[in-house]
Amino acid sequence: MSEFEAEATSFELFVTRRGRDLWRAAWLLTGDSQHAEDLVQTALSKTYTRYDEIGNDHQFEAYVRTTIYRTFVSWWRKLSWRNEKPTETHADAPTPDSQSTLRIDLVRALDELPRMQRAVLVLQYFEDLSVEEIARELGVTTGTVKTHSSRGRASLRTSAHLIESGVSL
């Protein structure tokens, strides 16, 4: 086996083991499975050449996640990648139970937030990162993170999607 084949195999194993968690993080940001796949693919293609250099799957995953969050913020600046919106219903979708309805409402409420507020809240509450870690991930100050977190939570409190669901924040 050549060095390139060994490198590709190790990278493929990493993607196999961690790909679903990376996709979940991207889905929480985008609210759309296809956009999440695009975001993960873009991040992996940007980071692939650094896999051997980093040499540690845990550190490489942190690097990929940082790339996912920064790419997401960059895409929002362009807005062109997000011309389509998911529909309210899908033809083959099963009837949602109350738990999945709540998840859908939460994703819709998050989708209405500005990109930085959404990114901060996802990192803070779904990825369980500290304010300092979020600031490092997004390349902003801790004060900026606190401001976006506060404003995002305030917006979620008044979101029609969550009020209708009976969620209190």
71 and 99 both lie in a single domain: no
Q: Collapsing DSSP states into helix, strand and coil, what is residue 83? A: coil
Whole-number pLDDT of residue 164: 61
Is residue 100 located within the same domain as residue 55? no
Q: What is the pLDDT of residue 39?
A: 92
Task: Report yes or no on 163 lying in a domain.
Answer: yes
Q: 78 and 100: one domain?
A: no
Q: Is residue 127 part of a domain?
A: yes
pLDDT digits (tens), the chain, 169 positions: 555 455 557 889 999 999 999 999 999 888 888 989 999 999 999 999 899 888 889 999 999 999 999 898 887 665 554 555 555 555 444 444 555 666 777 778 888 888 889 889 888 888 888 999 999 988 899 999 999 999 988 888 888 767 665 555 5
- Are 74 and 120 in the same domain? no
User: How far apart (Å, rounded) are the C-alpha atoms in residues 140 and 118?
Assistant: 14
CA distance readout (Å), 16 to 34, 62, 116: 18, 16, 29
In-domain check, residue 54: yes
CB-count exposure of residue 119 (10 Å: 0-12, 13-18, 19+): buried
Query: How many domains, the chain?
Result: 2
Residues 1 and 22 in one domain: yes
CATH code: domain of residue 105: 1.10.10.10
Q: What was the pLDDT predicted at 142?
A: 95
What is the model's pLDDT at position 128?
86
Q: Are residues 111 and 67 in the same domain?
A: no
pTM of the predicted model as reported, rounded to 2 decimal places:
0.56
Whether 89 is covered by a domain: the verdict is: no
Give the helix ranges, DSSP H, for the chain.
3-30, 33-47, 51-54, 57-78, 98-111, 115-121, 131-138, 142-157, 160-165
Q: Note whether 73 and 118 are within 8 A (CB).
A: no
Does some domain include residue 161?
yes
Residue 88 belongs to a domain: no
Determine, yes or no, domain membership for 158.
yes
Looking at the structure, tell me whether residues 6 and 72 fall in a common domain. yes
Residues 116, 139 share a domain: yes
Q: Are residues 103 and 72 part of one domain?
A: no
pLDDT for the residue numbered 56: 86
Distance CA 108, CA 149 (A): 17
Domain end call among 60, 83, 106 = 83
Distance CA 67, CA 150 (A): 24
139 and 113 in a single domain? The answer is yes
Domain holding 72, by residue range, is 1-83
For residue 21, the model assigns a pLDDT of: 92
Residue 94 pLDDT: 45
Assess whether 9 and 64 both reside in one domain: yes
pLDDT tens digit string along 117-133?
988 988 888 888 899 99
